[in-house]
Amino acid sequence: MLEILVNDFIKFFSSDLSTRLKEIVDERRKICKQVLSEENIDSAKAEDLELVFNNFLTGDFDKGFKAAVEKYSYRNLVEHLKYFLYGSDTLEQRFDRFFLAIPELPQLAVMEVATFAQPKSFCIWDVSAKSTIRYIGHSRMHGLSEDSFKDVIAGLDYVWAKLALNHVRQILSAYSGRKTDFVDVYLFTRYVYEEWILKKSFSDG
């Protein structure tokens, strides 16, 4: 099943229908990488952070960002983002400690920012990703459990989610004949969710 979905996505992504989406994604990559790269993050200004935490592809998180800024300040937020992205602790530890320190920021918002800034190290575990993993029958593989599919998850669940999506990434890379990252996986799961899962649900209903 996964191979069928991957081939269908590759056809879509190679067509003119995906042109505008590619432009949006490329711009999002550029902004997040420029502001949050390991070389630039220390010098990130308030307006830079506002640019990163705007125009989300996965949801509307403006209120959560403003609440975090008001409570912790831009500089404190930058320091926590730097730890989350580049800290020496494990991914599980960084995930849990970040959201314990700044619970006002939605997990999905930080996942998106981190993934577009460091697309080889982070993934987007949104409704599209969760639904795709269930759809291909992998919801009990890679260490995943019911807790992994909740709206708010623990660091260990994020590690399992990344493992599951990395399997998808490997298949995507093999069939496309090019190197892929977790932004590509996000685009794939979004496509599967919108073009296969939702449409099937609508037709069945």
Q: What is the pLDDT along the chain (205 residues), one digit of tens a residue?
A: 889 999 999 999 888 888 898 899 999 999 999 999 999 999 998 899 988 988 788 887 877 888 888 898 889 999 999 999 999 999 999 999 999 999 999 999 999 999 999 999 999 999 999 999 999 999 888 899 999 999 999 999 999 999 999 999 999 999 999 999 999 999 999 999 999 998 766 555 5
Within 8 A by CB and 6+ apart from 152, the residues are 107
Does the predicted model carry a pTM greater than 0.85?
A: yes
Q: Which long-range contacts (CB under 8 A, 24 or more apart) does 174-182 make?
A: 175/3, 175/6, 175/7, 175/10, 176/6, 176/10, 181/119, 181/120, 182/115, 182/119, 182/120, 182/122, 182/123, 182/124
Q: Report how far apart, in Å, the C-alpha atoms of 23 and of each of 12, 18, 119 are.
A: 15, 9, 17
Q: Is 176 left (phi over 0), alpha (psi -120 to 50) or beta?
A: alpha
Count of Cβ atoms closer than 10 Å to residue 164 Cβ: 25
Alpha-carbon gap, residue 94 to 139, rounded angstroms: 24
How crowded is the C-beta side of 95, counted as CA atoms within 13 Å? 22
Count of Cβ atoms closer than 10 Å to residue 27 Cβ: 12
To which residue do tokens 């799961």 refer?
189
Distance of CA 203 to the CA centre of its chain: 29
C-beta of residue 142 within 8 angstroms of C-beta of residue 158: no
